[in-house]
Amino acid sequence: MNISRCRIIAVGKVRKRWVQDGVELYLKRLPGLTITELRDSSRDKEVEAIRQALRPDELPVLLMEQGNTLTSIDFADRLRDFGSERLAFVIGGADGFTDEFKSSTRWQLSLSPLTFPHELARLLLVEQLYRAQSILQGSPYHRA
């Protein structure tokens, strides 16, 4: 899996500077990974904006607390299994996703059984994407 074939679609902006600094650090380490920010709104409007932002060749991966939890190694393996498919990791707004949208996707991912603000979820996701790339490349970062 080439991380440059992934992107993040996120509802809302990162307002905390320290979170933005962390996100930017990992984006520098992951050339090609981009983040598309969408405006906060009602759940239905957010889902519609997400649908419009998705490219026809992208597989959406919904980040949600009811999703599958994986170890970092399992996450890396799952990414590798998707091969050359394009993935769009989607971080929704405070009200989550509609049931119809959830049921239309193949992969729902939970970063933890804990609930995080969307800003921290974004930082955790980019770090885990970097960690997954490091695992797949055999880099020592994963153990550092």
- Domain with residue 30: its CATH number is 3.40.1280.10
Question: Which residue carries 């599958």 as its tokens?
Answer: 68
Of the candidates 27, 32, 23, 25, the one whose C-alpha atom is nearest the C-alpha of residue 4 is 32
What is the arithmetic mean of pLDDT over 50-79? 95
Of the candidates 16, 25, 42, the one whose C-alpha atom is nearest the C-alpha of residue 95 is 42
Question: Mean pLDDT, the chain, as a whole number?
Answer: 93
Q: How many domains does the chain have?
A: 1
Q: At residue 62, does pLDDT exceed 90?
A: yes
- Structural domain containing residue 84: 3-143
| Residue 142 binned pLDDT confidence (cut-offs 50, 70, 90) | low
pLDDT digits (tens, 9 = 90+) for 9-43: 999 999 999 999 999 999 999 999 999 999 999 99
**What's residue 115's pLDDT?**
85
Share of the chain above pLDDT 90, in %: 84
Q: Are the beta carbons of 92 and 46 closer than 8 angstroms?
A: yes
